[in-house]
Amino acid sequence: MVPKQVDHQERREVIARALWRVVEQRGVAHLSLREVAQEAGISHGALQHYFTSREAMLSFAMDFASEQTSLRVGRGVKELGDRPHPRDVLRVVLTEMLPLHADARATSRMSAAYVLEALHDRNVHARARDGMIQGRALVEQLLRQAIADGYLSPDRDPATETNLLLALTGFTPLIELDVIEPRDALAAIDQYLDGLFAGDFRRSSDAVR
């Protein structure tokens, strides 16, 4: 018999999801190579074949979480159809960063754990910071394009608006700790986006027609 070939990328993703479950169910304090190996159903030695350190494992899991979030955003934007309104695109981006369903909740908690790690580890700090800078730049680019296309007033400062939009993802702990309901966060996001695009002459003219 020909021995079964191991798909190393697939195995890494299995390990990453096991890490997410450890963080989600038991907290970052229980995040160790041994705990993750047990959750993934593999030996500690096998896990070390893929990740030689907790930091390497955590970084891969965070990269995978970011990738999964991007895929969800991509699917959400695709469902909006051709040439979607930037307000609707931004809503997809923001809502997929909140713990509103199982996958988003897992990646959200993974992100929180990663930030906590970054506060005490210089290497993790650099990677986390770079990732956030890239994510923020994408949101700012959406806003700059909305201004260029006439959806937003040119007197809007895209950098400030980006900061305000990303601040809306701060609803995460309020949702996680049952301070507010998910619908409350969505209502606030919708109200802010409606106000941001209130002067959109394109949407207004479409409504008249």
**Residue 138's pLDDT is what?**
95
Contacts 24+ apart (CB under 8 A), 133-141: 135/66, 136/162, 136/166, 138/93, 139/90, 139/93, 139/165, 139/166
**Average pLDDT value for the chain:** 87
Domain 55-208 sits in CATH 1.20.1560.10: no
The domains of the chain are located at 55-208
Question: What are the pLDDT digits (tens) for 162-192?
Answer: 999 999 999 999 999 999 999 999 999 999 9
Question: What are the pLDDT digits (tens) for 35-74?
Answer: 888 999 999 888 888 888 888 888 888 888 888 899 999 9
* Residue 205: pLDDT band with limits 50, 70, 90: very low
d(C-alpha 142, C-alpha 117), whole Å = 30
**Residue 130's pLDDT is what?**
93
Is it the case that residue 2 has pLDDT exceeding 50? no
d(C-alpha 92, C-alpha 78), whole Å = 10
Whole-model pTM over 0.85: no
C-alpha pair distances (Å), 41 with each of 11, 19, 64, 192: 11, 12, 19, 45
**Residue 197's pLDDT is what?**
94
